[in-house]
Structure 1
């Protein structure tokens, strides 16, 4: 018996163990990730950026339904702590040393959030994850749950990296153990550091946030993702 998709609670989370923060495939980072205090004025800011430019860097998978993925916003990241940004969920931002800040990074009104933990929602590269397929697994983020024949199934959106692009795919756990075969969602010609998800209330949809790290630039790309029935 199947029950409808269950959205995540609003308090979601992250872990460390992501890819090198410069967006490289396997080489050690040559970008400094030293960040004295991301909550200090001027250390970290977001500003509206060009949606069209971001959209050109993304390619949606052929089987993605029209309007299932929409770029809502693009934000340029500036400040000394920009190279250390790992991932963003809602208004919480994770940095390379594990610190999390939250608040309005556009206005610069942010503060450290010591009570926020993202560890329960993310698969790191060292965790069990789908094997095979092109690219190197970087991380995955939980989308939600469903129940099949009494078994709890977890749905994920994940990030893989090849020598030429970053690939975002979605997959689930299997009732007998292991994972389903990941299916493509989008690719980015600019390296991605992470992909995360924040659910909309009571609907199989939510917000994807990509941290995109080009040559000397960092962006946060925000997409709306509608996925009714996509996980099977």
Structure 2
């Protein structure tokens, strides 16, 4: 798989997010003093920390027929008194449940992004609700695999999250005007997956999936390099 990514963010910032960011220790008193409802204040104390955790440690399994399409995951933990509010991440950018955006600096600390116009365009919208059905599973959200968020006649590849009992699954599907393709399961998790995002690679049918995994006391951020060439070729054939 080619691993050449469009660096809309600086290479240094990317490396700092998942390779060199030590957690900042906080006292219980300091944690209690943070007002997580205040958009600017909640960033205080939020940091990213590298971990040696694997998918197995997080109770995540890749679908057997998809294992060759993924490279080993990279896992970071979002730490701080307001970490529970994160909804999704894409590279070093984060969106919280109330829609507020943050970016990770070189030191791994999150900073509120005041000008969100560019970020909204960069994310191609946030989440999508239209989806195919999966038997005995409840749909949560979906994200585009690509830049366009317009509903037109062209097929569009997306990835989504479903909950089936006490298991969460991520699947890819093709959205068309006349309906949806049968979802292709990519992975399953025994811990809640809040969201999935996608960051594309140029000129190849590869990119990076970002999963927010809710471990209860911790929020794990999982990055997976994904080769979706077969699915994309099927999408093009469906035009």
* SS of residue matched to 1:63: helix
**Greater strand percent: which structure?**
1
Distance 2:126 2:112 in 1: 23
Matched, 1:44 2:29: no
Matched residue pairs, number? Answer: 198
Q: Say which is worse superposed, 114-123 or 89-98, in terms of deviation.
A: 114-123
Match of 1:136 among 135, 138, 146: 138
Distance 1:145 1:104 in 2: 25
TM-score (norm: length of structure 2): 0.72
**Contact in 1 for aligned 2:54/2:73 (Cα 8 Å):** no
- 5+ unaligned residues in a row in structure 1: which ranges? 1-6, 12-32
Match of 1:159 among 147, 158, 161: 161
**Contact in 1 for aligned 2:39/2:100 (Cα 8 Å):** no
TM-score (norm: length of structure 1): 0.74
Counterpart residue number, 2:211: 210
* SS of residue matched to 1:168: strand
* SS of residue matched to 1:171: strand
Shift in CA distance, 215/155, structure 1 to aligned 2, threshold 3 Å: same
Shift in CA distance, 74/223, structure 1 to aligned 2, threshold 3 Å: same
Distance 1:82 1:65 in 2: 30
Shift in CA distance, 192/38, structure 1 to aligned 2, threshold 3 Å: farther
Give runs of aligned pairs for residues 192-203 of structure 1, distance below 5 A: 192-203=193-204
Shift in CA distance, 112/54, structure 1 to aligned 2, threshold 3 Å: farther
* SS of residue matched to 2:223: strand
Shift in CA distance, 65/57, structure 1 to aligned 2, threshold 3 Å: closer
**Contact in 1 for aligned 2:167/2:191 (Cα 8 Å):** yes
- 5+ unaligned residues in a row in structure 2: which ranges? 10-34, 235-239
RMSD, aligned α-carbons: 3.0
Return the structure number with greater relative CO, CA threshold 8 A, min gap 6: 1
Distance 1:75 1:199 in 2: 20
Structure 1 residue 38, shift from structure 2 partner = 5.6
Shift in CA distance, 88/113, structure 1 to aligned 2, threshold 3 Å: farther
